[in-house]
Structure 1
Amino acid sequence: MGSGKGGVPVVNSIVVKATNLSKSIKKQTLVEPINFTVAAGHVLALCGGNGAGKSTILRMITGIMQPSTGEIEVNGLQWKRDRKGFAKLIGYMPDDYQFSHGLTAWEALAFWGALRSVSKKRIEEVLERVGLADKRNNRVQTFSKGMRQRLLFAQAILDNPPLLIMDEPTNGLDPFWMNEFVRLINGVKEEGNCVIFSTHQLQIAEEIADHVIFLNQGRSYGYESLADYEAKYGAHPLHAAFQAVLT
């Protein structure tokens, strides 16, 4: 057993382990049982359209939503056994967020930073990293959707968590910041952290994912590496693989 950031134990480099994870509400099945692991420094993409179950899986991983069956472990911890410790391991970027009226970018990050005991120096570093340092004193309500997405990404990595969860993180980003997003995620990987994100944009998954799971109406298909998909389908393999799932 090794030691991760802040002395957090890392077992065999596996950060996330999902076992028979499912969600049903009354008689409706939102997510059928799914199993996967994600190692340190790796990226898992959950690909599918609206209503596929992507966001439900992410919410179960973070503890926002409790699974009907199965369990999630992050660095060996389970939410139901150590909620506080579990929460410290995860940075979460929702698909959208209503910022408090009147807050500047700096004030928003300072609020989140205070909750996580993050230094002012670290806040400055993260603002610089996401390209918002020159906007630190601007009110968030004046930001474009893409700028808000970058601020949400910034709060998710404030305390450098071993697991970064992102729900449709590239929605609203212009082409320039789509490229920057790829750079930012590669930086997270290089730091030894892992990422799970949902997307309907297959080209982004092809650029940054190590493994991909397709989802359609709550059912998962495949759990393969990008290299395996490329071996099967050639160029732009995820488009071909997704079509195979749907037919």
Structure 2
Amino acid sequence: MIRNVQLNSVAKHFGRVKALDDVSFEVGEGETVALVGHNGAGKTTLIKLMLGLSRPTSGSVAVLGQDPSAGNPAVRRRLGYLPENVSFNPVLTGREMLRFYVGLKSESRRSVDGLLDRVGLTHAADRRIGTYSKGMRQRLGLAQALIGTPRVLLLDEPTTGLDPELRQQFYRIVREMRDAGTTIILSSHALNELEGNATRVIILNEGKKIADGSLEELRRIARLPTVIRMRAADGGVQRIRDWMGNRPDLRQVNGHTIELDASPEGKVAFLRRAAGAEAPFDDVDMVPPGLDELYAHFLGGRPSA
């Protein structure tokens, strides 16, 4: 796999403040990596280093095989960036703004209409940006980031200001870019959005990398319980209790539903028993720990991944 982004023992200090401390990772083609952490964890500092806007105090950063701070024009043309708070000249129209950025990247003006269509702004292309809503400005920022089909796409809180439908549209574009081989690194506090959209998660805390892996890998390391939720018709809850041996860890949710927490081994044992016996429930759900729970687990001082 081609490694489009490589960080080796990166540290970044601002006086006595260690914004980043010995951070290393690589990201290859076709990966979508989520940077997760609280405010001040070092996410935006990492993005600035990858953009070449800042140099590390120690360690090395390579994007598309080059030091991004060297300002190689060929590398910059293959790099896309969407900041958390986009800011454009309010007197320009959306079309005029994109034409300006297309010119900076030496791309064809003919690509502008396609970009506007891709982010759903064709209807507002000739309106002044000062009349745009926050969500519209965010979509225009995404169009700017997509100029030239970047090989590396850096997104900082990209869905800020987008309604649920537009968030789905945004992640559809992200998946298309990933499937075409683009390396995507996004920073977000919306952890529920990242499940199913990020192939890998890097958790930062106080400038250190404390976890790195796919959701399944993080679940195996964390060993948090899976919630088994069983539902039965009227009067069936007691039958479930009897079938489970009236375990003290059973929790009754309502008159039809009962649940318990199960370790990975306990989940497998339950499934084997449910498949080989007259199970007294009409439906069962397995709810694995989500990214919110994994994030809280790794920030709680437990062993890191």
**TM-score, normalised relative to structure 1:** 0.90
Alignment of 1:2-81 (within 5 A): 12-81=1-70
SS for the counterpart of 2:18 is: strand
1:7-42, Cα deviation, whole Å (9 max, x unpaired): xxxxx4211111111210111111111111111111
Bigger mean CA deviation after superposition, 89-98 or 122-131: 89-98
- Distance in 2 (CA, whole Å) between partners of 1:68 and 1:211 is 26
Q: Identity, % of aligned pairs?
A: 33
> Is contact 1:182-1:207 (8 Å) kept?
no
2:208 corresponds to: 219
Within 2, Cα distance between the matches of 1:236 and 1:146?
Answer: 31
- Please give the alpha-carbon distance, in whole angstroms, between the structure 1 residues aligned to 2:188 and 2:74: 28
Q: Map 1:49-198 to 2 at 5 A.
A: 49-81=38-70, 83-198=72-187
Partner of 2:243: none
Q: Deviations over 1:61-110 (max 9, x none)?
A: 11011111111112212225563233223111111122113011001100
Change beyond 3 A, Cα 1:115–1:241: same
Query: Pairwise CA RMSD of aligned residues?
Result: 1.5
Instruction: Give the letter aligned to residue 111 of structure 2.
Output: R
* Partner of residue 290, structure 2: 237
Partner Cα separation in structure 1 for residue 82 and residue 54 of structure 2? 15
Consecutive aligned runs of 4 or more in structure 1 exceeding 3 Å deviation: 230-234
Unaligned ranges ≥5, structure 1 = 1-11
Separation in 2, partners of 1:213, 1:169: 17
Asked if the contact 2:52–2:71 (Cα under 8 Å) also holds between the matched residues in 1, the reply is: no
- 1:51 Cα shift? 1.4
The separation in 1 between residues aligned to 2:51 and 2:69, in whole angstroms, is: 11
Q: Give per-residue Cα distances to partners, 1:221-244, cap 9 Å, x unaligned.
A: 111112313444452431121111
Task: Specify whether residues 236 and 203 from structure 1 end up closer, same or farther in structure 2 by C-alpha distance, changes over 3 A only.
Answer: farther
Distance in 2 between residues matched to 1:184 and 1:117, nearest whole Å: 23
Structure 2: segments with no counterpart, 5+ residues: 227-287, 301-305
How many corresponding residue pairs?
A: 236
The answer to whether residue 207 in structure 2 is matched with residue 207 in structure 1 is no
1:33-60 deviations in whole A, cap 9, x for unaligned? 1111111111010011211111111001
Q: Which residue of the partner structure matches residue 253 of structure 2?
A: none
1:205 Cα shift? 1.6
Q: Distance in 2 between matches of 1:141 and 1:172?
A: 16
The code of the aligned residue for 1:228 comes to: E
Distance in 1 (alpha carbons) for counterparts of 2:21 and 2:63: 21
Indicate the larger mover: 226-235 or 133-142.
226-235
Structure 2 letter corresponding to 1:201: A
Q: Which moved further from structure 2: 39-48 or 81-90?
A: 81-90
TM-score by length of 2: 0.74
Counterpart-to-counterpart distance in 2, 1:193 and 1:167: 16
Larger Rg: 2
Counterpart code for 2:299:
L
8 Å Cα contact 1:206/1:236 also seen in 2? no
RCO higher in structure (CA 8 A, sep ≥6): 1
